[in-house]
Amino acid sequence: MIRLIFWIAIVFAVLWLWRKIKPAPQRPGRTGEAQPLLMVRCAHCGVHLPQNRAIGTGNQWYCSQAHLNEGPAPRER
């Protein structure tokens, strides 16, 4: 009898761990609503990065705070 309880406990522990490790299931409705990743160009170095990771000021985008401080790159000769 004790063995049976022991095994049930193990099964529950495994299920609990599985739930903890496994990422939350994504609902189809939410993924469908996900907006397309908009790429923007850093006005200083010209690198492209997702808009949600870029720092924007007005209509200019920068890849980092340092480039934001330095401002737009001078025109290429």
Contacts of 76 (CB under 8 A, 6+ apart): none
Query: How is residue 42 annotated by DSSP?
Result: B
Residue 75: CB minimum distance to Zn ion, A: 16
**Residue 54 within binding range of Zn ion, rule CB under 5 A:** no
Residues constituting the chain: 77
**Residue 43 within binding range of Zn ion, rule CB under 5 A:** no
> Of the candidates 8, 10, 15, 45, which one interacts with Zn ion according to CB under 5 A?
45
> Of the candidates 44, 54, 61, 68, which one interacts with Zn ion according to CB under 5 A?
44
Query: How is residue 37 annotated by DSSP?
Result: P
Query: Which residues make up the interface to Zn ion (CB under 5 A)?
Result: 42, 44-45, 63, 67
